[in-house]
Structures are given as structure tokens and as C-alpha cells.
Structure 1
Amino acid sequence: MVKRIASLLVTLLLAGAAHAADIPVYGFEIVRSYPHDPQAFTEGLFFKDGFLYESTGLEGRSSVRKVRLETGEVLQGTTLPSDLFGEGIVDWGDQIIGLTWQTQLGFVLKLGDFSFVKKFSYAGEGWGLTKNKTELIQSDGTAELRFIDPATLKEKRRVKVTADGKPVTQLNELEWVDGEIYANIWQTDRIARIDPASGKVLGWIDLTGLLSPMFRTGQVDVLNGIAYDAATKRLFVTGKLWPKLFQIKLIRKK
């Protein structure tokens, strides 16, 4: 079973928050679509030096890979041990830092050749991972974001994410975008734009209908995976087992 099923209460709270008058809602325009491996159960995603780096989940199928954006071709990668469920990844210096779901175990790889450097531990679950200039930022499926010292890989502090004063749970894959944290809300077509200082939701991105119904076979899973090319301001999104990755432009709806 892939993660716990989100409760009806959480769904209702999120729905209410999404329609709050003081929180902007953004739609999207597809700028370009790219091939994406339909066997990739996407957990983490980031863009660096012209390439995508992606982590995939599920026991026995978890991997970390370097991907050519234009073709979806996997150029380099490594497979995690079969008992690990891969989760979010982020680059820091010349390394890739990654999480696993319920084993309370993280790992560090060399960015250049994906060779193993070390492992580390943390309490609770590992979901998404991103960074600001000085810290790593981790989600664990709750309404809290953990800020991690990249040198020691130890937790420094937490920030609770709220919308209209209510906690927003199911925070999953993360991306740092121009001073905000973007977070997939698991099992929804929504991304939260979060103020990293206060934890307040600054906006909702509604990606309903992004993947055409013609691709929504029984195999495709939920929206998950955000990458940002800060140099060219390109925003990329995809989902678990999706055959497409999209570059999108945000359009304010209200």
C-alpha cells in the first residue's frame, strides 16, 4: 500500500483552504511537454545544469537517476536496495542527498557518478526534500517542514504550514522557487506556495486537467514532482507513472 490514505477531514480542510478569499489561486498554461518514463514512480525531482535528476519509489523499484529533459532518456542512475522505498532528493554541493519513506534512513551519493557516500538517520517518515541557500528542507507527510543542517544532516527547527490558520497536511514533494517553497499536496492536483518563514500558504496552484484523459489509464498515479530552472524561470511538473512531464506557466485565477 502506497502511503496512508488521506482522511476525509484533511480533504475537506484543504478544499476549504483552497477557496479562501484571501489566498490566491493559480491555474496553468502548458508551455511545452516532454517524454517521461511511465515506469517511474516519481518521488523527488530537481533541475541542475541542463538535466533533470529524479528519484523513484516502491520497494524493489526505487532509484535515483539523471535524465535528459528533451527526451526523457535515463543517462545515469543507481538502484536502491530492494527493502528501501525511495523518496525526495536534493543536490548539495557535489552530492545528492536522498530520503526513504518509513525506514528512517537517508543516503548521500556523489553527484558525478552516483556512488554511495554515506547513510544517515532521522525520526519519522521521509517524503519531500529541497533546499534554500543554507539549509535542507524536508517534509514528512504532516503539516510541518523540517529545516536541516546540510553539514550534519541534523534537524535544526520546524515550521508549521497553515492556510487561514488551519494546518495543511500531506505535504509531499518540495521545490524552492524564488524564495517560496512549492509543495505537492499528496493525492490532490494541488501545489501549495508556502512562505518559508511563517509557514503560511501564499497561494494554491490548481493543476486539475494537466494530464490529458487520454493518458489517464489505470496505471498513472497522482501528481508529484516539481523542478525549477532558476536561470530561465522554467517550472516543470509531472506525476507518478506519468508518460509526460510539463513545463507550465502560472496564470492567476482569483
Structure 2
Amino acid sequence: MASPVAHAQVVAAPVEAANVTRFGYRVVKAYPHDPKAFTEGLFFLDGHLYESTGMEGASVIRRVDLDTGKVQRQFDLAPEYFGEGIAPWKDRIIGLTWKHGKAFVIGKASFALEGHLTYSGEGWGLTHDGQNLIMSDGTDRLRFLDPESFRPVRDVPVTIRGKPLDYLNELEWIDGAVYANIWQTDYIVRIDPRTGTVTGVVDLSGLLDHAPGKAGNVDVLNGIAYDAQTRRLFVTGKYWPALFEIELVEKPAN
């Protein structure tokens, strides 16, 4: 989501002690990733990786070749917009902005602008469950939205051990659950979309150490993409030089 200086005093909820399934990871493969990309949204569809980036004057929505990291198609947001999460819907891509309350709708094939949708509050992460779009706004809530009108359908408070878990960021729908980056942490949480209860915690500490070469001026972990056809899971971060295919490894219960 937001710029690196906003909310500088974030203190994450104590996910380390949560009474949920805990996962570590195994790196399957590292792929090239643009180290100038302030990654906000990520998804994988039909053999292609799609990514959105933030920062005013540098916000884009693009299709990227997974193996080379090269940009194949790109839509540039106007300089005043700070791009956020993206999600596919039918033959379109919907991309949020941080504080403008506007979502851009572009053609998935053409990458041409087809329209806008509006919403209240901030936009952070975006995914869908096949029926509704699911949006995060930096709080402890997931908003379920009608994908055609963007009207609210319902919202769900996310809790861990009965306590609210905020700073939900980039989102991905995987096997009936919402996976969410927790901003400014090395954690991804798995959320039951019906109740908002966190059912799993993924600890990705040390992942960047697996990047080839020097990491450089990196920022936080952010970006989850799932290839449903091959069941591959990809993650990256803002200004990271690599995108990782990982396998989740369940940790023994304490």
C-alpha cells in the first residue's frame, strides 16, 4: 500500500503467538523482478503475471513475462495517482488507487482504459472469489464488492485469537480462503472469508536472503500470486530484485 513513511509507527498484532496453523516456506525458484517496482498488486492468470505499482508518477498496471521479468503490456496511471491492488474480472483488470477513491478498469487484452469505478476510503489490496471483489483498506476489514458497480455487498472484520488484525494489504484468493500480506511485517495470513477468522500464518522471514545478487534499496514484503492451474504460489516485495515461487511447509504445533 502506502508510501514507506506513512504509518511509520506500525505495531503488528502478535501473529507469532496465534493459535492457528503455522507455516514456514521452501523456495522452489527465484525469478527476475523489477527492482524499481513498488509492488502493490499481483496476480497470475492464463500463463501471465500481472502487477501494479505505486508511487505518484510511477504507478502502472502491467503484464510481465514470468521467466524474464520483462514488461509485455503496460497501462500508465496519471502522475497524480498512487496505484494499489489489482484483480481480474472477466475480460478486464480493475486497479485501485490509494486515496482518490477511484478504480481504473482496463481491458485485459488491450490494456486500454474502459472506465472508472468509485469507492469511499482508501484502497489497498484487491482480489475476487468468483462472485465478488474483495478489497482491503488498511484496516481490519475485508470489503466484498459487486464487481460491476463496486457497491458494497458486505464487510467482514478480520480477527486473530479474537482480536482485530489490521494493516491487511495485498490479497489473493487461494482454495476458498483469502491470503493477505500484513503491512510492514514478514507475515501472510490465511483468512476464512465467511467469518474473518485467521486460520493460518505464514512466516516469510529471511526470504529476501534467497535473492540472487545484492538486494539494494528494498522495502517491505508485498505481493501474492497463485497459479491455480499448476498450484504454484508466488510472492515478492516492494523494490525487490526477485519474485519467488515458494512451497508452504507446515510447522509443528507448539
Query: 1:53 touches 1:66 (CA, 8 Å); kept in 2?
Result: yes
Partner of 1:5: 7
Task: Rate the CA distance shift 1:190–1:215 in 2: closer, same or farther, 3 A.
Answer: farther
| 2:135 is aligned with 1:138 | yes
| 2:51 is aligned with 1:54 | yes
Partner of 2:61: 64
After superposition, the C-alpha distances for 1:87-113 in whole angstroms (9 at most, x for unaligned) are 000000000001000111111000011
The match for 2:201 among 183, 186, 204 is 204
After superposition, the C-alpha distances for 1:136-163 in whole angstroms (9 at most, x for unaligned) are 0000000000000012111111000000
Structure 1 unaligned residues grouped into runs of 5+: none
Percent of aligned pairs with the same amino acid: 54
The Cα of 1:185 is off from its aligned counterpart by 0.2
Partner of 1:28: 25
Partner of 2:104: 107
After superposition, the C-alpha distances for 1:200-243 in whole angstroms (9 at most, x for unaligned) are 000100000001186343x1100000000011110000000101
The Cα of 1:6 is off from its aligned counterpart by 5.2
Cα distance in 2, alignment partners of residues 168 and 6 from structure 1: 17
Aligned length: 248
Partner of 2:171: 174
Query: 2:215 touches 2:241 (CA, 8 Å); kept in 1?
Result: no
Query: 2:117 touches 2:149 (CA, 8 Å); kept in 1?
Result: no
The Cα of 1:3 is off from its aligned counterpart by 6.0
SS state of the match for residue 211, structure 1?
helix
The Cα of 1:5 is off from its aligned counterpart by 1.8
TM-score by length of 1: 0.95
The Cα of 1:25 is off from its aligned counterpart by 1.2
The Cα of 1:4 is off from its aligned counterpart by 2.5
Structure 2 unaligned residues grouped into runs of 5+: none
Cα distance in 2, alignment partners of residues 82 and 61 from structure 1: 7
| 2:76 is aligned with 1:79 | yes
Cα distance in 1, alignment partners of residues 249 and 185 from structure 2: 19
Query: 1:6 touches 1:170 (CA, 8 Å); kept in 2?
Result: no
Cα distance in 2, alignment partners of residues 69 and 228 from structure 1: 13
Structure 1 runs, 4 residues or longer, greater than 3 Å off: 213-216
Cα distance in 2, alignment partners of residues 52 and 248 from structure 1: 15
